[in-house]
Amino acid sequence: MITVYCIIVIFFICSAGHAKYLPKNSEICQQVLGNELLSEISSYKNVKEEIFKYVTEGNFKGKTYNELAKFVDKFGARPSGSEILEDSIDYMIQLTRDEGINDISTEELEVPHWVRGNEVITMLKPRVKNIDLLGLGRSVSTPEDGITAEVIVFSNFEKLEATPIDDIKGKIVLYDPPFTTYGETVIYRLRGATKAAEKGALAALVRSITPFSINSPHTGSQTYDGNITKIPTAAITLEDTDLIRRLYNRGETVVLNIKMSSSYDTKISRNTIIDLKGIEKPEKLVIVSGHIDSWDVGQGAMDDGGGLFISWAAPVILKNMNLRPKRTIRSIFWTAEELGLIGAYAYEEKHRNESSNINFIMESDEGTFAPLGLAVAGNQEARCIIGEILNLFTSVNASTLVEDDSPGSDINIIIQTGVPGASLHNANERYFWFHHTAGDTMNVEDLKELDLCAAFWTAVAYIIADLSVDIPRYIK
């Protein structure tokens, strides 16, 4: 199971790099969209403006930010399998009930429960220095006295493969790939331990997957292949990686002592499902979503508190505004995303036979900075309709359609079954600076940007859910 997750995740992340922007008013779209549909879509301009007014100037102004702050300040990090995560799920349910929405259900599933213990790395040679680290998800512990060994540095897997086992055996492998894109670089975090263990390494370290650092280690998921010895694995900072590489390249022997402890079992968690029932086709779903679990450092405000709260806000805003679309707006709070999209896999499996009812599925899990548009998966006709809807958001600079066959994280599992969907495209240039660090806190979030995201997310979902036509799955 775990291997399967990993491959899909890698596929998603890599393919995200190849997203294209759909040319506006393309000839294809002019053919696909008849005058009637064009006219219908443009008729939503007023409702879109009402939603923006209510969220950015009216009673909802600042509410997304303030509720998110109260939530993350109360619970902090919400790792998969923790009691805190379950308490935070209960809190979100109550928060939703407090808004007068009671069509709420939860679905239980088994989730990984990896708990970080003490983690210390000390450089012993050529001089004594503390090396900041964050163990990677599922990493095994070291012996109590730690692992003391020489470091060997590789900038890619090809160089590791080309090196004789005897040169690696008994050493600590450090991967120092320069950051290019997340998709290209994260494979060293995901697969580094297994690849190093195959060569007899005692532990594997990886340069944190980020373009920028203030000595900030970035944790994240990794998986062990079944047959290979499980070795301890952690991310260290750009700064310490580059220091070790410079020493190593000067011919110095670098010796580290790595002490890491952790525990691993499974627990029961829940996906949370909130429905604002459609008035004409309640069985048809437009899903908005984010994940409620986070890494165990920081507050999980950016990853994915922002996505969680704009998806919580969508049905609340529509209910408060007495806007009931034809189809049902379903808000899902995925659980246990960080350790392998566990909640999303469970949902897809459980709801597979109703999958044809999903008209469109959306997730925000790449930041809630200023909204720019959507990254859309679907056939050409679907993208033309979504593109035309996005044209309504030109005045708020959120009309860009990025063609992306694998948008989102959790929702990509459902999208790969043929369901059209989208993730929030936003001004997230600094996203990976904070991603999976102790710096993922409310300080990354901005009240006005969250209002814009909530308004955009709600308006898009409403329009799609209310259109006379379904978002098509195949070219007609």
Size of the site for its own copies (CB under 8 A): 31
For the bound state, the minimum distance from the C-beta of residue 297 to its own copies, rounded and expressed in Å, comes to 8
Q: How far apart are CA 94 and CA 470, in angstroms?
A: 32
Q: Which stretch binds its own copies (CB under 8 A): 96-104, 137-145, 212-220, 362-370?
A: 212-220
**String of contacts with its own copies for each residue 223-252, x by CB under 8 A:** ---------------xx--xx--xx--x--
Distance CA 318, CA 18 (A): 35
Dihedral-angle region of residue 215 (phi above 0 means left; psi in -120 to 50 means alpha; beta otherwise): left
295 near its own copies (CB under 8 A): no
Bridge partner list, 172:
151, 203
Residue 358: enclosing H or E segment and its boundaries?
strand 358-363
Within 13 A of 63's CA, how many CA atoms are on the CB side? 19
String marking each residue 46-85 x if it binds its own copies according to CB under 8 A: -----------------------xx--xxxx---------
Q: Can you tell me which residue has the tokens 């297994």?
A: 194
**Alpha helices in 271-330, H assignment, sequence order:** 306-320
CB 407 within 8 A of CB 376: yes
Which residues touch 459 (CB under 8 Å, ≥6 apart)? 44, 47, 48, 51, 52, 392, 393
Q: For residues 56 and 145, what is the distance between their CA atoms, to the nearest angstrom?
A: 56
Q: Which is closer to its own copies, CB of 193 or CB of 238? A: 238
Written as six digits, the tokens of 80 are 């998969």
Site string for its own copies, 80-119 (x = CB under 8 A): ----------------------------------------
We find the least distance from the C-beta atom of residue 185 to its own copies, in angstroms, to be: 16
String of DSSP letters for 412-436: HHHHTTT--EEEEEE--TTHHHHTT
Looking at 413, 442, 464, 465, which residue binds its own copies (CB under 8 A)?
A: 442
| The only residue of 142, 213, 400, 458 in contact with its own copies, by rule CB under 8 A | 213
Cβ 412 to its own copies shortest distance, Å: 28
* Burial of 36 per CB tally in 10 Å (0-12, 13-18, 19+): exposed
Q: How far is the CB of 172 from its own copies (least distance, A)?
A: 19
Between residue 168 and residue 197, which ones bind its own copies under the rule CB under 8 A?
none
| Token digits of residue 40 | 């219908």
Distance CA 297, CA 439 (A): 8
CB of 304 to its own copies, least distance (A): 18
Question: Out of 255, 438, 472, 473, which residue is the one contacting its own copies (CB under 8 A)?
Answer: 438
Q: Which is nearer to its own copies, 199 or 435 (CB)?
A: 435
Among 49, 132, 184, 198, binds its own copies (CB under 8 A): 132
- The residue within the footprint of its own copies, chosen from 437, 450, 454, 463 (CB under 8 A), is 437
Is residue 214 near its own copies by the rule CB under 8 A? yes
Catalytic residue of the set 67, 119, 337, 348: 337
Binding residue for its own copies, selected from 215, 356, 394, 395, defined by CB under 8 A: 215
CA 315 to chain centre: 21
Is 337 marked active-site? Answer: yes
Indicate which single residue of 137, 220, 290, 298 sits in contact with its own copies (rule: CB under 8 A). Answer: 298
Span near its own copies by CB under 8 A; candidates 211-219, 333-341, 344-352, 373-381: 211-219
Looking at 119, 439, 464, 466, which residue binds its own copies (CB under 8 A)? 439
Smallest Cα–Cα separation from 201: which of 240, 175, 238, 239? 175
Residue nearer to its own copies on the CB measure, 70 or 97: 70
Distances (CA, A) of 430 to 39, 141, 342, 368, 435: 38, 32, 27, 11, 9
Placement of tokens 């086709």 in the chain: 281
| DSSP conformational letter for 357 | G
Binding site for its own copies (CB under 8 A): 69-70, 73-76, 126-127, 129, 132, 213-216, 238-239, 242-243, 246-247, 250, 298-299, 433-434, 437-439, 441-443
Tell me the catalytic residues: 337
